[in-house]
Amino acid sequence: MAQPCALLSVWDKDGITDLGRSLSALGWQILSTGGTARTLREAGLKVTDVSEATGHPEVFDGRVKTLHPAVHGGILARRNNEDDMSMLAELGYGTIDLVCINLYPFEDTAARIPPVSNSELIEMIDIGGPTMVRSAAKNHADVVVLTDPTQYSGVLDSLAQADGNPSGVSQEERQSLALAAFQTTAAYDAAVSNELENRFIGQDMPSRIHLSTGEQTSLRYGENPHQPAAFYPAAGEFTGLAAAVQHGGKPLSYNNYLDLDGALKLARSLQVTCSNEPHSCVIIKHTNPCGAAVDQTQVGAWKNALASDPESAFGCVISFTQTVEKATAEAIGDHFFECMIAPGYKPEALEILSSKKNRRMLTLNPIEPRVEEVRLRQLDGGWLAQVQGPPGIDWGQVKCVTDKQTDDSEVALARFGSTVLAEVKSNAILLVARTETGCATVGVGPGQTSRVEAVRIAARRAGDRARGSMMVSDAFFPFRDGIDTAHEIGVATVVQPGGSMRDQDSIDAANEHGMAMLFTSTRLFLH
């Protein structure tokens, strides 16, 4: 058997010395470039520079070093093709049996704060690396391709069992490594495309959408037991739910993820619109908020959020925006919830919460205030994209259109109510009220085809607490019947976008009933 040859050229040097040492011990020749070659030599390994194999020096500050037929011929030549092997011998090139490459850190460079210049970022676009990876992956029947340090040990075990013979790596293993390699280059290209689109074009909506993810986590099932499901983290550094740490309990389900996402979005929005209140609590059931509160105390936020609809909150998902305290855990007591997400837990609080079976507590630290971002939704035949974030209401332009006027306290309550309402499925009506030390929902009417029916549902949930409350609507009232119904249940103030041809009818109704009404000029539909 001819001496097998490995080409090692990596940005991330983790494990590369051990890989090189093990390959050398198995009788392999090592080709390398630049910093990788230097690292291997410093470890005492014999290394042949790629420039020696190509007969051509690295040029243009390393921009061109492996783009040469000696490299790609050695990778791509089909070992079972006589013409390929004759041509390779005629050219005087040898075969390359293993390629170990990881790429320039484009994504890490793009994420730097403050942002790097375009010229600096461009230099982090790897050319030779992806080209070698793709060549090796294409010819995986003859070449082993490694793109991640976690792959090294498995391949070395296979080679060791075969006394260093490349044939010791099975075709199944080669196929798996090749797939990972193509996924790596695809993700890399997506990252480059997305970042340059943002820098060069800078539109609210991208001209194209390129998706890339990390490795999936299989879920027990989807929304229903007959539906397979998985969670795919966004590519790059973990953020959001991908970065959350679970403290015991069974794995999260598809529905858990949906509800946690809803809880997290609303909690993050409240940090923007109600920043004067230190504590927020959100209770989600089937992706809709059934209770939310901001308060000077965490216990108060929990109790007021729960009071909005304790029946629906059975088996809920809960979010807090501050570390969960012992007193809060004690107040929650035996209440059954599926999941909780917070920036952290006091040890005593976690102990109390964990005492009940099947609860899942997650830590996401920090829970950052929400910002506007492009969100995607798949539909039959394509994707929809829109910019989403906290409600984009300009409160400086909000108008009180009734004889009865509102004060600063009511405007603050309207800000809270609008923030919660923005995460309730349309048509939606929300009843909110002041508490002793904050604001809370008292009735939620989600997802109705009739806005009047949404008012009735919110009223039933609120009961007596509807009296003196504020009613917030995600869209205008086309007729005065919604205002009349609100008066019947005791609503004191109405908040709505306005914009109906019959706005004056709604204003007249509010004046007749002695109610105040704010027009925000901003619709808050959530379909």
Question: Could you read off the pLDDT of 286-300 as tens digits, one per residue?
Answer: 999 999 999 999 999
Rounded CA-CA distance 440/433 in Å is 6
The tokens for 42 are 């410093």
**What pLDDT shows up at residue 63?**
86
pLDDT in tens, 235-287: 878 999 999 999 989 999 999 999 999 999 999 999 999 999 999 999 999 99
Residue 10's pLDDT is what?
95
Q: Which of 13, 56, 138, 210 is catalytic?
A: 138
Beta bridge partners of 389: none
Whether 286 is catalytic: yes
Closest by CA position to 96, among listed 46, 50, 64: 50
Summarised one tens digit per residue, pLDDT across range 317-357 is: 999 999 999 999 999 999 999 999 999 999 999 999 999 98
Q: How far apart are CA 2 and CA 77, in angstroms?
A: 15
Confidence at 62, pLDDT banded by 50, 70, 90: confident
Q: Are the C-beta atoms of residues 505 and 479 closer than 8 Å to each other?
A: yes
Alpha-carbon gap, residue 154 to 156, rounded angstroms: 5
Provide the pLDDT for residue 54.
85
Mean residue pLDDT of the chain comes to 95
Task: Quote the CATH superfamily of domain 240-363.
Answer: AICAR transformylase, duplication domain (3.40.140.20)
Domain formed by 5-201, architecture: 3-Layer(aba) Sandwich (3.40)
Helices (H), 3-42: 16-25, 34-42
What pLDDT is attached to residue 2?
84
CATH architecture of 393-519: 3-Layer(aba) Sandwich (3.40)
The pairs formed by 59-66 with CB atoms below 8 angstroms and a separation of 24 or more are 62/34, 63/127, 64/128, 65/33, 65/34, 65/128, 66/7, 66/9, 66/33, 66/128, 66/131, 66/132
Distances (CA, A) of 158 to 138, 153, 381: 21, 9, 44
Residue 1 pLDDT level (bands cut at 50, 70, 90): low
Asked whether the whole model's pTM tops 0.85, one would answer yes
- Note the pLDDT of residue 519: 98
Using pLDDT thresholds of 50, 70 and 90, give the confidence band for residue 57: confident
Q: Return the bridge partners of 342, or none.
A: 363
Domain 240-363 and domain 393-519, same fold? Reply is yes
Q: Is the pLDDT of residue 395 over 80?
A: yes
- Does the structure show a pLDDT above 70 at 130? yes
Q: What mean pLDDT do residues 213-231 have?
A: 94
User: Is it the case that residue 59 has pLDDT exceeding 90?
Assistant: no
The single residue of 13, 210, 286, 404 carrying the catalytic annotation is 286
- The domain limits of the chain are 5-201, 240-363, 393-519
Q: What's the pLDDT at 402?
A: 98
60 pLDDT tier (thresholds 50, 70, 90): confident
